[in-house]
Amino acid sequence: MTALAGAQAEAATAKRTAFGTLPDGTAVEAVTLVGANGVRARIMTLGATLQSLEAPDRNGTLADITLGYDDAASYVTNPNFWGQTVGRYANRIAGGKFVLDGKTYQLPLNDKTNSLHGGTKGFEKAIWRITEVKSGAQASVTMTLTSPDGDQGYPGKVDATVTYSLDDKGALTIDMGAVTDKPTIINLTNHALFDLAGEGSQGGIYAHRMTIPARRFTPVDKALIPTGELKPVAGSVFDFTQGRIVGAGIRDGRDPQIVIGRGYDHNFVLDKGATSEPQLAARVEDPASGRVLEVLTTEPGVQFYSGNFLDGTFVGKQGHVYRMGDGIALEPQKFPDTPNQPAFGSARVDPGKPYHHRMIYRVSVAR
């Protein structure tokens, strides 16, 4: 009896609730996952979005460490990529074009001359359907979405699934899967922006210390498309292999890549490559609060974006105005523009060969 009671006490919980409506009246739901150590994750059906992630500091004080809005409607009226599931293809595709089996496909150009995160109406703007909610050793929610053949110019009908699972040790696992009825390209990730001091903190992310186990990165041209080079990070502000303070290099205009990106907005080539089980892609620590975030993935790359396009026009949670450097995105994925750069590998998905990406956000405290 005692053992059973203890097991129940340690179980993570999941609770499904309404989360307001969109401007057109569409209802939005959310599922809140809570672990025994106090970590809380809220996932919203709009965009299969990680709407909040609360984690304790070294004194046990909880804070929401993700940027976003307090209400669902603002994600539509003032759109940004905050915590959403992005696809069909995360990151940029040059010219919005790619060739598959000899046929050229044209996607919407929603990033000047490129297609970004799936186009003008990517997965982040869709209402996903909740298919399962579970409490237990891991609390979880599963959401599904059907993207029809030709959606945003992509071939094939795609049935996508995202499952968020939270354990009692602070690990939020995100499993992303997809099947198609025609050859297509798929690259899914989560686009959360983090401030481990708590979203809207005065100092932002400049004092965060980050480690990325990547000895190379993919430089970009002025359109933020990879040039094709896999450039060593050694001796540059892109060397996070031994850990470095984010703010130390974020404004170093001596590096032309920092100038082009207005800071960091680059894909890092993970030393581990693509793996069957998630391995470390990045570790971030806020020395003041002690909060630590580790990002793990099965994918070969991680995009580090330092919030360079936050310009003070976005008013987020608790009325906080978000400005440059107020959040870090660490997006595990295939490399940007892979469909046009064969040396980067392949983003192709065929019928009968499902796509799967497992990533983990693991929060803890450094004493």
Average pLDDT score over the chain: 96
279-304 pLDDT per residue, tens: 999 999 999 999 999 999 999 999 99
CATH number for region 2-365: 2.70.98.10
From the list 191, 208, 266, 357, the catalytic residue is: 191
Alpha carbon separation from 46 to 77, 142, 304 (Å, rounded): 13, 13, 24
Q: Is the pLDDT of residue 2 over 50?
A: no
Residue whose pair of structure tokens reads 């001796």 in the numeric block: 235
Q: What pLDDT was estimated at residue 367?
A: 78
For residue 234, count other CB atoms closer than 10 A to its CB.
10
pLDDT tops 70 at residue 5: no
For the segment 264-279, the average pLDDT, to the nearest whole number, is 98
- Count of alpha carbons within 13 angstroms of residue 103, beta-carbon side: 10
Q: Rg of the chain's alpha carbons, rounded to an integer?
A: 20
- Residue 62: both structure tokens together: 């909880």
**So what's the pLDDT on residue 343?**
97
pLDDT tens, position by position, 209-226 = 999 999 999 999 999 999
Question: Which residues, 6+ apart, have CB-to-CB distance to 352 below 8 Å?
Answer: none
Q: Closest by alpha carbon to 303, among 236, 244, 226?
A: 226
* Measured CA distances, 11 to 2, 33, 94, 136, 286 (Å): 14, 11, 46, 5, 28
- What's the confidence (pLDDT) of residue 72? 97
Average pLDDT over residues 180-194: 98
Task: Evaluate whether 159 touches 143 at the Cβ level (below 8 Å).
Answer: no
Q: Where are the domains of the chain?
A: 2-365
What pLDDT is stored for residue 3 in this prediction? 38
**pLDDT bracket for residue 6 (50, 70, 90):** very low
The structure tokens listed for 353 are 């060969």
pLDDT greater than 70 at residue 203:
yes
- Do 14 and 133 meet the contact criterion of CB atoms below 8 Å apart? yes
Question: Residue 9: what pLDDT?
Answer: 52
Amino acid found at 292: V
Other CB atoms within 10 Å distance of the CB of residue 340? 16
**Percent of the chain clearing pLDDT 90 (strictly above):** 96
> In the structure, what pLDDT confidence band is assigned to residue 319 with cuts at 50, 70 and 90?
very high
191 is catalytic: yes
- In this predicted structure, what is the pLDDT of residue 18? 98
199, 266, 331, 357: which one is catalytic? 331
How many other C-beta atoms lie within 10 A of the C-beta of residue 51?
Answer: 29
In this structure, the number of other CB atoms found within 10 A of the CB of residue 339 comes to 21
The Cβ of residue 80 has, within 10 Å, a number of other Cβ atoms equal to 19
Which among 302, 299, 321, 322 has a CA at the least distance from the CA of 310? 322
Predicted confidence (pLDDT) per residue in 323-358, tens digit = 999 999 999 999 999 999 999 999 999 999 999 999
CA 289/CA 302 separation, integer angstroms? 25
Instruction: Say if residue 229's pLDDT is above 90.
Output: yes
Residue range 161-180, pLDDT digits in tens: 999 999 999 999 999 999 99
Mean of the pLDDT values across residues 42-54? Answer: 98
Residue 185 has pLDDT above 70, yes or no: yes
Provide the 3-class DSSP secondary structure of residue 30. strand
Q: Catalytic residue at 331?
A: yes
